[in-house]
């Protein structure tokens, strides 16, 4: 299980991304429309003043353990939890294959 601090940090990043998403999008659209170099530079400075934490990658994490690696999107679980839950029959439609 990953540390609680890592999970909380990830949640803070998600909140920051959602908060500044529209602001960043609007500034980028303005930059594309503007042809004057000085105005483009001033708009780039506006983007640079936004919090840097929102640019860090957002990892998919297991909803049970918080593990960031070995993540299956379809289930929202890491490979360890997926395996254990499937052995106990907690995931519908999943069974251990044998041949």
Fold of 60-98: 30s Ribosomal Protein S14; Chain N (4.10.830)
What is the spatial distance between Cα 84 and Cα 93, in angstroms, rounded to a whole number? Answer: 14
pLDDT higher for 16 or 76? 76
User: Residue 27 and residue 35: Cα distance in Å, rounded?
Assistant: 14
Q: Determine the average pLDDT of the residues in 78-82.
A: 93
Point out which residues pair with 78 in neighbouring strands.
71
Place of tokens 């594309």: 32
53 band by pLDDT with thresholds 50, 70 and 90: low
Predicted local distance difference test score (pLDDT) of residue 68: 87
Let me know: does 50 contact 41? Beta carbons within 8 Å.
Answer: no
Domain parsing of the chain, residue ranges: 1-58, 60-98
Stated pTM of the model = 0.58
């Amino acid at each position: 299980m990953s540390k609680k601090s890592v999970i909380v940090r990830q949640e803070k990043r998600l909140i920051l991304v959602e908060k500044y998403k529209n602001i960043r999008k609007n500034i980028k659209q303005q930059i594309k429309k503007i042809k004057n170099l000085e105005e483009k530079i001033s708009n780039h400075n506006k983007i640079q003043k936004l919090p840097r934490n929102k640019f860090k990658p957002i990892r998919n994490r297991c909803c049970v353990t918080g593990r960031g690696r070995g993540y299956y999107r379809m289930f929202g679980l890491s490979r360890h939890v997926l395996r254990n839950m499937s052995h106990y029959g907690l995931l519908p439609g999943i069974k251990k294959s044998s041949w």
